[in-house]
Amino acid sequence: MRYLWAVPAAVIGWFLAGFAPSYLAGLPDAATTFVPASSSRIDLLVLGGFAGGVAAGFLLGRIRYAVPLVLVVAGGTWWLSGHTLSGRELLITLLAASAVGAFFGALGTRSSVVAAFALALPLAWYAARPAGDLSPDFRWLWQLNGLLVAVGLTIVLYVCCWRRGWRSAYFWPVLIATYLVSFAVVDGVRAVASTAGRSSDEIADAGTDGFFQAFEPLLREYWPWMVLAVLLAIPMTALKLRALPPPPPPLDPYAGRTNDAVLSDDLDWIDQHEPERKLLARYHRTTPEEAGSSEEIAPEPAVFVPSREDREDG
């Protein structure tokens, strides 16, 4: 019954998380189709397909269901948009990005650390989108960009410790590095998309320059916001872990069994009844000289001695 609502929700989530921002902002060149059939929009295919695949994988939670579903949805949407097989390279790019995103999204439902790594690239893409639509002389540009970068990093760090608590905090340095690399990947893909139609050397140079130049503004201008994001993620994680109920005590494997099932065979005598004792008189042995005397030999006081069964038992 869960998949009756999970499958439609995954289809809607794939489109909303990956391509709804582009539709709200308006596709370039006055395009009315799903994605323009030109290599200039390869950034939308890669980043949008990955973000939508992550959302669909989160909602379904199963790799064997999420990956085929996003492949069918991406291919069907491409065909319904009026594109032909002449742009199969772009179609393959969309299918591959959606499948990889769905794979990591489905793994994220089982491990919060994987979920955090999967969310790093979509959040970096969303954080960089408003800055590209604003003019460089915008008054609050530094504050807006820094706030979006900090919010994305805080969400990533918070999700990382969702299941295992502070034990997952060891992944925070690697996760922060992955988040920074995600901004570089976004700029590199956009640089490659902007140089469509040129030679392969120019495309490679543009992609490399866009990748490495993305680290400079992040490390020079937005590092205070990133420090603030880390300081904010610490109390958020602490409050979340404190609000959780205590873990249940471990189950006792011998709770439903008696003591006889626990004691070994050599301790079974503990549960047995003590054998009865017999009262016997102990006589003193006399010498031949004493035997000829007329005095009677008085028996010694009676003592308890073990029965025959006890003697046989040793």
Residue-wise DSSP of 83-145:
--GGGHHHHHHHHHHHHHHHHHHHHHTT-HHHHHHHHHHHHHHHHHHHHHHS-TT-TTHHHHH
Is residue 66 within 8 A of residue 11, CB to CB? The reply is: no
Compute the distance between CA of residue 157 and CA of residue 291 in angstroms, rounded to an integer: 102
- Position 145 confidence tier, pLDDT thresholds 50, 70, 90: confident
Better pLDDT: 289 or 180: 180
The reported pLDDT for the residue numbered 103 is 92
The reported pLDDT for the residue numbered 272 is 65
Q: What is the pLDDT of residues 39-82, one digit of tens each?
A: 557 778 888 888 888 988 888 888 888 889 999 988 888 877 76
Q: Which residues touch 42 (CB under 8 Å, ≥6 apart)?
A: 90, 93, 189, 192, 193, 196
Compute the distance between CA of residue 232 and CA of residue 227 in angstroms, rounded to an integer: 9
Burial readout 265-283 (b: 16 or more C-beta within 10 A, e: otherwise):
eeeeeeeeeeeeeeeeeee
Q: Which residues touch 266 (CB under 8 Å, ≥6 apart)?
A: none
Better pLDDT: 265 or 70: 70
In this prediction the pTM is 0.69
Distance of CA 18 to the CA centre of its chain: 22
pLDDT of 302 > 70? The answer is no
Is residue 51 within 8 A of residue 17, CB to CB? The reply is: yes
- Position 174 confidence tier, pLDDT thresholds 50, 70, 90: very high
Give first-to-last CA distance, the chain, whole Å.
69
- Position 232 confidence tier, pLDDT thresholds 50, 70, 90: very high
pLDDT of 314 > 50? The answer is no
pLDDT of 304 > 80? The answer is no
Sole residue written with tokens 């790093």: 120
Percentage of the chain lying above the pLDDT 70 cut = 68
Which tokens in the block code for residue 197? 């139609």
User: What's the mean per-residue pLDDT of the chain?
Assistant: 76
pLDDT of 258 > 80? The answer is no
The reported pLDDT for the residue numbered 99 is 92
DSSP class of residue 250 equals P
Sign, CA dihedral 127-133-139-142, equals positive
Name the range with the highest mean pLDDT among 32-46, 130-144, 163-177, 211-225: 163-177
pLDDT of 220 > 60? The answer is yes
Name the range with the highest mean pLDDT among 153-167, 266-280, 285-299: 153-167
Q: What is the pLDDT of residues 77-125, one digit of tens each?
A: 887 776 666 667 788 888 898 999 999 988 888 888 898 998 898 888 8
Is residue 91 within 8 A of residue 83, CB to CB? The reply is: yes
pLDDT of 276 > 80? The answer is no
Sole residue written with tokens 């069907």: 76
Is residue 175 within 8 A of residue 157, CB to CB? The reply is: yes
